[in-house]
Structure 1
């Protein structure tokens, strides 16, 4: 599988999202994914499943060096002391000596970005994380992090799919060689039911979801973390890597509406 190199780490382009996976289903889902060939697992403090993700990783029995694990600190815990407590808890639950990528899950109003990155860099200096990054940061905040503070941001994880335009953000990230990691890459199921995507899928004898996923993975500097608990769905997402889209397909997808932002919490930043 292709990897995206960033800030000294390699992020496998297709990962497993685990939002809303809980209990034994989460443990089994992570173990199955790793045995199928996934090497990138994404979780977060807020998901409440880090212990189960850790158990699934342990059950799969793969060498730690083969895996990339991302977790995140919640926006309510961005004061330095709170970050430290959250990180300690995440590391304990995951059962990992080192976390590959630790992200600020959402920005918060009034946050002290320099202090946040100073705290994360201490984890890196201590060898407890390999890289740090952000999620849900619009261009203005990315500029502050990268240009004003000089933080070594390894990725920006945001909602991105064929029904949401992220050209402005992508253009900026590419100018700084920072990958975009796409969550909700299938538009929470909407793309699997989209007539235009179904038509493209029929042409290639694949599924509309696979078309949507490959459209993302064909883009420079983009990774995707679709959530899938069932082995069949996990394998189908892996098989999307084999799909070949042509210029006509991309033209059709480019013509789809691009204004469907699906994740809109009250605390979200101004995206413009």
Structure 2
């Protein structure tokens, strides 16, 4: 079981073409990715598992993360949650998960029941790390009270237009990861003059700059979605660019004051 999470991973959410994630995951692993993120409700765990199986990269070298507990999935009972986790394992074709997230602290999520089941899978060695997603500080506080295992990561929307200062500070203080989904704000960061200026200075793409800016922050990892080999390569190059960013570059992006949250559900804990 992989104990260390690579700071850049492949996000696999998409509304269509779910079967194509088998080839995409295999390609990403060939390019050097070792962190793959999916979820029960994405409907692609089977294909992600096929990509893992087809790759020459050994399973133990891949940090595999998935999520369950999403508003009305699974059902409300303890047995439903157990079945859901076992279903994730079955679809992914693996006997363990490096990281299992609670997808949303809403709907069927009951802190005691949900986290006690997660703790049991952790204690049995089936789940290497317990994570949460879309949690606010009060949700994190409650989860920490219940769990014996440490919270390993909180996966939230995070990018230059939604920098999540409070949650990043919490991550540093608690020493867990903040895993940034939608780290490119679905392309909205590309036209920001501040990001373009830094990109031009380093002969890099706006995507690389946005990801490198996030990777310059303590306790932050990123999982950009990419469906083409070109974009996978471009995103992965951010790992090298982060070493070249200057304090001036970082401060320039820090100073962006526009705020955009793309994933803003009615049931979100911040509403």
User: TM-score scaled by structure 1?
Assistant: 0.92
Report the counterpart of residue 4 of structure 1 in structure 2: none
1:256 aligns with 2:260: no
In structure 2, the CA distance between the partners of 1:30 and 1:149, relative to structure 1 (3 Å rule), is closer
Residue 65 (structure 2) aligns with: 70
Partner of 1:10: 4
Contact 1:117 1:151 in 2 (8 A): no
The within-5 A match list for 1:33-182 is 33-75=28-70, 76=72, 77=74, 79-109=77-107, 111-147=109-145, 149-182=147-180
Shift of 1:74: 3.0
Matched residue pairs, number? 264
CA pair 228-110 structure 1, distance change in 2 beyond 3 A: closer
Once the 2 structures are TM-superposed, how far is the Cα of residue 263 of structure 1 from its aligned partner? 0.4
More strand by proportion, 1 or 2? 1
The alpha-carbon distance between structure 1 residues 80 and 152, as it changes in their structure 2 partners (threshold 3 A), is farther
Structure 2 equivalent of residue 218 of structure 1: 216
Cα distance change on mapping 1:182 and 1:270 into 2, 3 Å? same
Distance 1:150 1:128, change over 3 A: closer
In structure 2, the gaps of 5 or more residues are none
Q: State the distance in 2 between where 1:198 and 1:220 align.
A: 23
User: 1:165, CA displacement in angstroms?
Assistant: 3.0
Return closer, same or farther for 1:67/1:79 CA change in 2, 3 Å cut-off.
same
Q: Does the CA contact (< 8 Å) of 1:165 and 1:258 recur in 2?
A: no
Moved more, 256-265 or 199-208: 256-265
> CA deviation digits over 1:206-240, x for unaligned, max 9?
01111000000111110000000111110111111
CA-atom RMSD in angstroms: 1.7
Cα distance, 1:73–1:131 mapped onto 2, change above 3 Å: same
Shift of 1:196: 1.8
Q: Distance in 1 between matches of 2:108 and 2:32?
A: 41
Q: Which runs of 4+ in 1 moved over 3 A?
A: 21-24, 147-151
Change (3 A) 1:148 1:49: closer
Shift of the alpha carbon at 1:251?
A: 1.8
**SS at the partner of 2:154?**
strand
Residues 106-138 of structure 1, C-alpha deviation per residue, up to 9 Å, x if partnerless? 011574212211101111222221111100000
Contact 2:19 2:44 in 1 (8 A): no
Contact 2:31 2:233 in 1 (8 A): yes
Question: What is the alpha-carbon distance in structure 2 between the residues aligned to residue 79 and residue 97 of structure 1?
Answer: 23
Task: Go from structure 1 to structure 2 and tell me whether the alpha carbon gap of 1:190 and 1:66 turns closer, same or farther (over 3 Å shift).
Answer: same
